[in-house]
Amino acid sequence: MRKLLLLLFVLNSGFAAFSQPMGKVLEQRQVKSNILGRNVRYVVYLPPDYEISQRNYPVVYLLHGYTDDETGWLQFGEINRYADKAIADGIIPPMIIVMPNGDSSWYVNAYDGKESYEDFFIKEFMPSIEKTYRIKAEKKYRGVAGLSMGGYGTLMYSLKYPELFVAAAPLSAAVYDDDALVSTPDQRYEAIFGQLYGRGLKGKDRLNKSWYDNSPLKIIANKPADELKKVRYWIDCGDDDFLTKGNSLLHIALMEKGVPHEYRVRDGAHNWTYWRTGITNALQFIGDSFHQR
């Protein structure tokens, strides 16, 4: 009898695991951009009850890192699996998660106007997405998150457009201070940053208007605290990450302005193991921000 009960328990547990509601992932979607002069691909995650309900959902824009594309969070981050489980467990509310292809744009406008990704994202991409899917197109139901370059993009959008986002969760964000940019080897600067802030610049010549207009630390220093407090921030970076210093400076900058935020330093480096183990907490923080207080 005891063996039979044990067998039934195991079978029921297995059926429960397999019966967990699953969201739907749509790949190879595109938004036509007049600003960029091309189509931009994206992946969207729809929560399990999307196709059987008539309700509108909150949204999180989830940004990938440098050299990745719109499939990064799906392929390596397994975002659909983590979102399914978190929704089933009641950790996060059902939400739509949108992952655009940012190429190597850093999600901002280039100094020479050749790549105005920021304008595209704010003026074309978000409006198009929020007309295509049943999304609550309001600040209080809209969050942004991302890793590395995507963490930087998360900061840029939330700092520049606090009227659009209720919460932001940059993971291992690519935050650099002035000294880090000045001391970047010429070849690395040209390959990664030249397209953004100016080609062929060396030393302190790099600290120009384009740099300061897109420096999270400079923006925080110049913005009034009341403006910064309009967005809730979740900052997470590993103790072995090469970006630890920049994220620590970000934490200090917000702390000195009296801006409430959550700051986490966990054991880990700049890799997918770290981001996979952090994304549920980040989404939970954003999800909590969708609730009335």
**What does pLDDT average to in each consecutive run of 10 residues of the chain (293 residues)?**
50 54 96 98 98 96 97 98 98 98 97 96 98 98 98 98 98 98 97 95 97 98 97 98 98 98 98 98 98 75
CATH of the domain at 70: 3.40.50.1820
Query: Does residue 207 form part of some domain?
Result: no
pTM of the model: 0.93
In a domain, 8, yes or no: no
Asked if residue 39 belongs to a domain, the reply is yes
Residue 184 belongs to a domain: no
Is residue 150 a part of any domain in this protein?
yes
How many structural domains compose the chain? 1
Is 254 a domain residue? yes
- In this prediction, residue 99 carries a pLDDT of 98
pLDDT score of 15: 45
Sheet strands side by side (includes 59-63): 24-33, 38-46, 96-100, 59-63, 142-147, 167-171, 232-236, 262-264
Q: What is the pLDDT of residue 292?
A: 73
Give residue 94's domain range. 20-176+215-289
Q: What's the confidence (pLDDT) of residue 20? A: 80
- Report the pLDDT value the prediction gives residue 10, as an integer from 0 to 100: 47
Residue-wise pLDDT for 38-50, tens only, equals 999 999 999 999 9
Does residue 206 lie within any of the structural domains? no
Query: Is the residue at 3 inside a domain?
Result: no
